[in-house]
């Protein structure tokens, strides 16, 4: 399972005034992103490209 990495950025809009404010998420590779896909009703899923 890939680990999501974040950093604090001052220029991310916080229109809903959430506390804590949203953070910038670093982009994932396509393979890492596919590992985070969730399918309703399925316990596990294997995605192959």
pLDDT on residue 33: 92
Cα 49 to Cα 46: distance, rounded to the nearest angstrom: 10
Q: How many CB atoms lie within 10 A of CB 21?
A: 13
Sign, CA torsion 19/26/37/35: negative
> What is each CA distance from 27 to 33, 39, 42, in whole angstroms?
9, 21, 26
Q: Which two tokens stand for residue 2?
A: 């890939």
The pLDDT tens digits of the residues spanning 1-49 come to 889 999 988 888 999 999 998 999 999 999 999 998 887 876 665 666 6
CA atoms within 13 A on the CB side of 35: 8
């Amino acid at each position: 399972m890939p680990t999501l990495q974040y950093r604090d950025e001052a220029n991310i809009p916080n229109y809903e005034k959430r506390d804590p404010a949203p953070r910038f998420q670093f982009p994932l590779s396509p393979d890492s992103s596919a590992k985070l896909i969730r399918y309703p009703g399925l316990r596990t899923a294997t995605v192959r490209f």
